[in-house]
Amino acid sequence: MRDPESDGQGIVTEPRTVRIERLLPGPAERVWDYLTDPQKRGQWLAAGPMQAHAGGRVEHLFRHRELSHEETPARYRGFENSPPMFGEVTQWDPPRVLAYTWPGDNGSSEVTFELYPEGRDVLLVLTHRRLADSDTMVSVASGWDAHLGILIDRLKGDTPRGFWSAHARLEGVYRCRFRFLSEQGTTPQHAVRVEREFDATPAALYAAWTDLAVMNLWFGRVEADIRVGGSYRVESDGDDGEVFAHKGKYLALEPGRFVRMTFAVDTDEPNPYLDEFILISFHGRSEGRTLLRLDNGWDGLGPTEQDVEAAREGWSMWLDLLDRMFDHKPELRQLL
């Protein structure tokens, strides 16, 4: 159930789409002014003129250092004096619906603001569509949520909260919330889950999937560029001497928490499993033990009961190898 009075509640409603609902002090006409008036919009998002009709031009001039008392972190200072961004108004229905395009490196997306009166308050439903990928969805959701926090403070007459500290916290929230997404920013049509508890720390299990030296002790013969966007390839030997090869790339890395990466058989044959990926998450238990949860998701061909059982058996065999590695290398169990 949504909680529009709290941040970090954004959800994925359709492929490459995020939606955030926040309850704002009303009335709707006042909130509309903060969406459309250049001076008021500059107090919580970005200044810049907006032509008041569908097809009109909207300009955003971001000056984050003016939103709150916090200094801009080094990683974002290059954007402080960036040129204005331009979009086109696609819906103009005051004080109910405003929508406009949002420029991006991979084509424009679209953001829609819908206002619904609820007594003295107004429910704002913000929907941002046509986002490029899952990383962009995390960035957009955390950015909008942090900006909406500033808007709420302005509407209440409160001192604006720290923008960048809120942004950093929300980025972590949404990276976790959206982690079970494909590379394309969609939830999978099909998924199989395998769980196992290990006598090892979350850091030790994270290293088993991200430290090349450790990976080669159990995963197979591994070549990997271990970074977000980096590729990997692994070869393993079957019982009859055949060689199995898999490949993919890292989509998200959160030390001690989870690894998300694409996963596919390395073959020239057509693959009925589309956008396949795995999410390996680590959940600390008592006495240095950890629950490893592996979710394997994909689109395309739906699994039969036999397919599901075969997938679980296959991943269980991989985890057997990981268990044996810890038996042979017990010093790796308690990495911090």
- Taking a C-beta distance cutoff of 8 angstroms, is the pair 89, 104 a contact? no
3-class secondary-structure state, position 99: strand
Please name every residue paired with 261 in a beta bridge, in sequence order, or none if there are none: 250, 278
Check for a shared fold between 11-177 and 190-332: yes
Residue 198, pLDDT above cutoff 90: yes
Which pLDDT score, from 0 to 100, does residue 165 have?
Answer: 94
Residue 3, pLDDT above cutoff 60: no
Percent pLDDT > 90 in the chain is: 66
The pairs formed by 272-276 with CB atoms below 8 angstroms and a separation of 24 or more are 272/300, 272/301, 273/298, 273/299, 273/300, 273/301, 274/298, 274/299, 274/300, 275/182, 275/183, 275/184, 275/186, 275/188, 275/299, 275/300
Rounded to an integer, the average pLDDT of 272-292 is: 88
Average pLDDT for the chain: 91
Percent pLDDT > 70 in the chain is: 97
Enumerate the domain spans of the chain. 11-177, 190-332
Q: Which CATH class is domain 11-177?
A: alpha beta
Beta strands 17-25; 11-14: pairing state: antiparallel
**pLDDT digit string (tens) for 57-115?**
999 999 998 999 998 888 888 777 778 999 999 999 999 999 999 998 878 999 999 99
Return the CATH fold of 190-332.
Answer: Alpha-D-Glucose-1,6-Bisphosphate; Chain A, domain 4 (3.30.530)
pTM of the model: 0.66
Residue 305, pLDDT above cutoff 50: yes
Structure tokens given for 315: 């991943």
Residue 1, pLDDT above cutoff 60: no
Q: Is the dihedral of CA 36, 42, 45, 48 positive or negative?
A: positive
**pLDDT digit string (tens) for 199-235?**
999 999 999 999 999 999 999 999 999 998 999 999 9
Q: Count of CB atoms within 10 A of residue 158's CB?
A: 10
How distant, in Å, are the alpha carbons of 91, 236, 269 from that of 215? 52, 12, 27
Which pLDDT score, from 0 to 100, does residue 54 have?
Answer: 98
Residue 147, pLDDT above cutoff 80: yes
